[in-house]
Structure 1
Amino acid sequence: MAALVSPSTGRSVSGLSPTPTKPAASASSPTATKTPAPAKTPPIQKVQLIVSAAASLTESLNELQPLFEAKHPGITLVFNYGASGTLQKQIQQGAPTDVFLSAAAKPMNALAEEKIIDAATVKNLLVNDLVVVVPADGGLMISSLADLKRDDCRKIAIGTPETVPAGSYAQESLTGSGLWEVLQPKFVFAKDVKQVLSYVESGNTEAGFVYRTDALASTKAKIAFSVDGKLHKPITYPIGIIRRTEHRAEAELLYDYLISPEAAAVFDKYGFGTSP
């Protein structure tokens, strides 16, 4: 056995054995076995659900979106807001849509008759009221449809009746009151109720016809008066599922959620009534 040399004295030190070195672990040694990495959980494949909805539902549906998605993390809602008649035409032309929420029965019924909407799913979800609004600051003091004839009420915003249900309800009310033809020179037509509201808020028109829910959501416009509900058809918001949807199960989950008490509480917050 070779003698060890003391590192401090440089002398050999007898009687001491070198510390044995451990043999290197072989490939077959247990210590060399690598623990396999845990299998990666595949990401959730989210379904994108496209909802075409009346513009007057914007605020309430935007609030409901995260509440629904929290309950169903595999679904992402994408909203397409606009005038109900315009949305109807888009759907008829094949625009991707899974669920339709209209601000009137006519567009929904037309799609159901063409078998684009599953008629078995059509249900009146909400009700609303038609009101006349004026600018919040310095707006005219008017209290009836007849007051719209006043000389100081120069321009009146109204949704295009052919595509905007609120405009159609306004036309029906004014026609029944004998004022439609008289007020024609004052009308400024808009693509939807949100544009009507913006015209009034900016002072570009002295008055405008919108839904109560739109007026309540605005800080720059105020309700001058409510239009008598007897002058027009009931304002209902039907919901229906598109027959050609590729995500029927997910569409039914949204459908059921929107008719739930939780959703009804949010709609109520924005001034909607629930349909009996």
Structure 2
Amino acid sequence: MINITNYKKLIILILSSILSLVFIGCTTMNENNLDNNTTLATSKQELTVAAASDLTKAFTEIGIAFDKAHNSSITFSFGSTGNLSEQIANGAPFDVFAAANESIINDLDTKGFIVSDTKSLYGLGRIGIATLKDSSFETSTLDDLLNPDIKIIAMANPDHAPYGLASKQAIVSAGLWDKLEPKIVYGKNISEAMTFITTGNADAGFIALSLKDDSILNFNIIDSNMHNPLNQAIAVVKASNKQDLAREFINYVNSSDGQAIMSKYGFIPPEE
């Protein structure tokens, strides 16, 4: 005759064994999933791109699209072209440099800091005069900046920012430099010049077309014949140890998808 007590103990032992196996299996699956997720997270290739401030909006959008397509993680360092160039010459760990003018890239190439066969133009930039929408004055032309109500004019420093230099060239071309210079305050780059305007610390200023914000600013473009062309160039930094991915990024910027984004922010394609 079967001992009921022993029978119950046997059933409990069997059920316990089954539950233990299920628990071990689930734990193993969770560990495998965790390992797989960790591998996916850590397998992203990282890229560091030094870029002129006028590219802030365009390159941020391009970076999102590129990361998605290449399982990468791009870090941008936006600043004035001149300052970024100095950082590269001093060994800053950038993989790509997107300058606001071609001459800086050529200069770095001559000095051995750029991979020569990666140099390419990626767009032509434009500048204009900006004021807040609630301003009481019109600034459709450079002559309008003579208005005595306009006491402070912001622009990027022409000594190291190509957009600042183009702004100065336009003022000089109009024969207004001597009259307007006393009103001018300099930003480290074109983004800071725009901040002076949007915060009300400047009455008017020169900004990149690519940075204009129609919701808060009036913007009037300047005739491109009044300054040297803002031919913007990009290249792989020679010290980079991720040159293959860096080349892919440049190719993406100049691809149809990349150029569609650049055009969205007012850059003229190189071929034009």
TM-score relative to the length of structure 2: 0.83
2: distance between equivalents of 1:67 and 1:6? Answer: 71
Whether 1:242 aligns to 2:240 is no
Choose which of 215, 222, 247 in structure 2 pairs with 1:219. Answer: 215
1: distance between equivalents of 2:128 and 2:136? Answer: 15
* Structure holding more helix per residue: 2
When residues 76 and 5 of structure 1 are mapped into structure 2, their CA distance, relative to the original with a 3 A threshold, is closer
Choose which of 139, 144, 148 in structure 2 pairs with 1:147. Answer: 144
CA contact (8 A) 2:123 2:270 kept: yes
Give structure 2 stretches of 5+ with no counterpart: 5-9, 11-20
When residues 113 and 5 of structure 1 are mapped into structure 2, their CA distance, relative to the original with a 3 A threshold, is closer
What residue identity is the alignment partner of 1:228? D
Q: Which structure: larger Rg? A: 1
When residues 263 and 182 of structure 1 are mapped into structure 2, their CA distance, relative to the original with a 3 A threshold, is same
**Residues 96-146 of structure 1: CA deviation (Å, up to 9, x unaligned):** 000010111232122111110112211110112110111111242122212
TM-score relative to the length of structure 1: 0.82
Shift of 1:66: 2.2
CA contact (8 A) 1:140 1:206 kept: no
> Which segment drifts farther, 229-238 or 138-147?
138-147
Q: How many residues align?
A: 249
Quote the RMSD (CA, aligned, Å).
2.7
CA contact (8 A) 2:130 2:139 kept: no
Shift of 1:260: 0.7
Shift of 1:5: 8.3
Residue matched to 1:275: 270
CA contact (8 A) 2:54 2:191 kept: yes
Identity of aligned residues (%): 26
Shift of 1:150: 2.0
What residue identity is the alignment partner of 2:105? M
When residues 185 and 90 of structure 1 are mapped into structure 2, their CA distance, relative to the original with a 3 A threshold, is same
Residue matched to 1:257: 252
Runs (4 or more) in structure 1 with deviation over 2 Å come to 4-7, 37-42, 44-47
Residue matched to 1:181: 178
When residues 229 and 174 of structure 1 are mapped into structure 2, their CA distance, relative to the original with a 3 A threshold, is same
Residue matched to 1:59: 57
What residue identity is the alignment partner of 1:116? F
Query: What are the residue-to-residue correspondences of 1:176-215 with 2, within 5 Å?
Result: 176-215=173-212
Residue matched to 1:49: 47
Query: What are the residue-to-residue correspondences of 1:63-102 with 2, within 5 Å?
Result: 63-73=61-71, 75-102=72-99
When residues 229 and 43 of structure 1 are mapped into structure 2, their CA distance, relative to the original with a 3 A threshold, is same
